[in-house]
Amino acid sequence: MNMVIPNAGKEMFLDRCMTGGSYEDVKVELYTNNYTPIDSSVTADFTAATFTGSGPITLTAGDWDAVVIVSNVAEQQALVAPEWTHGGGAAQVCYGWFMYGDSTGTIYAAQRFDTARNMTPGSIESLDPFKFKLKTFV
């Protein structure tokens, strides 16, 4: 499934782009509820994974590569892909990831995996590459 930028995230991106709104760090987490992100999704729609090693990964402004244009699509990639390693304990099924503002809690983006991930002790989930793309639609 493609990444979804819910309405709150769209508002945030445009506000920062057009009016110079302030930047905030973002957190990326895996989620465990069987949910498909939609335009009206909010952070509360996602149940964060709780296995050992599943905590939120914080990305700051300095954690992103320069924006490039590839075939008229703007792309920006995280310098280090978010990655979680199950550190032991009970297995947990993860259906996707979600990203939200560190201070506001505003949902920025989310993606349901094509196939749910059964996170068992020792398993690793890496979002590589962790990339955002912007394109004009007509």
- Average pLDDT of span 83-87: 98
Residue-wise pLDDT tens digits, 86-131: 999 999 999 999 999 999 999 999 999 999 999 999 999 999 999 9
As a whole number of angstroms, the distance between CA 119 and CA 134 comes to 31
Strand, helix or coil at 17?
helix
- Tokens 């050992």: give the residue: 52
Domain boundary assignment for the chain: 7-121
Query: Can you say whether the dihedral through the CA atoms of 127, 26, 28, 17 is positive or negative?
Result: negative
More confident residue, 19 or 107: 107
- Tokens 């075939």: give the residue: 71
Judged against a pLDDT cut of 70, whether residue 1 lies above it is answered with: no
Q: Would you state the pLDDT for residue 17?
A: 80
| Global confidence as pTM | 0.93
